[in-house]
């Protein structure tokens, strides 16, 4: 997350986050050679960064990515003229996976919990060493 956060410098031009079939994501300028028919990812994901908490900004970008992925999935459903049952199957397959927002929020909660444990651990270690030194004195 830190590397991604640093790539999205608000001083840079409009940046987009592109997802690829190999499950890789890349931050880049809007692609001029991208197929015009495909839905475009959100433009300028880096601009909101400076005015938001890091976790809130990551969640916002994740929500935009989810929206883009749904748009791409259903674009192909329309392009290949999926019938009702095919569209329902596609929607069902998508719903079997967690959204990017859900994954990001879970990671944020995990990171927050880890930080709280680290703080509690350092506080208890610090107070534990004080109590041991008080026993010696």
Could you report the per-residue pLDDT of 3-52, keeping only the tens digit for each? 999 999 999 999 999 998 899 999 999 877 666 788 989 999 999 998 89
- Give SS3 for 30: coil
Closest CA to 90 of 101, 80, 103, 102: 80
**C-alpha of 54 from chain center:** 11
Distances (CA, A) of 103 to 109, 115, 137: 10, 18, 51
In 20-126, the DSSP E strands lie at 25-28
pLDDT single digits (tens) 90-105: 999 999 999 999 999 9
pLDDT digits (tens, 9 = 90+) for 40-90: 899 999 999 988 999 999 999 999 999 999 999 999 999 999 999 999 999
Contact residues for 72 (Cβ-Cβ < 8 A; gap 6+): 38, 39
Q: How many C-beta neighbours within 10 Å does residue 73 have? A: 15
Q: What is the pTM of this model?
A: 0.78
């Amino acid at each position: 997350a830190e590397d991604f956060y640093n790539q999205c410098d608000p001083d840079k031009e409009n940046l987009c986050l592109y997802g690829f079939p190999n499950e890789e994501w890349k931050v880049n300028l809007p692609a001029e050679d991208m197929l015009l028919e495909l839905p475009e990812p959100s433009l300028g994901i880096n601009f909101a960064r400076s005015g938001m908490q890091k976790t809130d900004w990551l969640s916002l970008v994740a929500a935009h990515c989810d929206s883009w992925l749904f748009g791409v999935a259903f674009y192909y459903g329309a392009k290949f003229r999926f019938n009702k049952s095919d569209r329902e199957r596609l929607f069902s397959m998508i719903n079997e996976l967690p959204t990017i927002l859900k994954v990001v929020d879970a990671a944020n909660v995990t990171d927050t919990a880890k930080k709280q444990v680290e703080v509690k651990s350092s506080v208890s270690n610090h107070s534990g060493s004080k109590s041991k030194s008080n026993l010696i004195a």
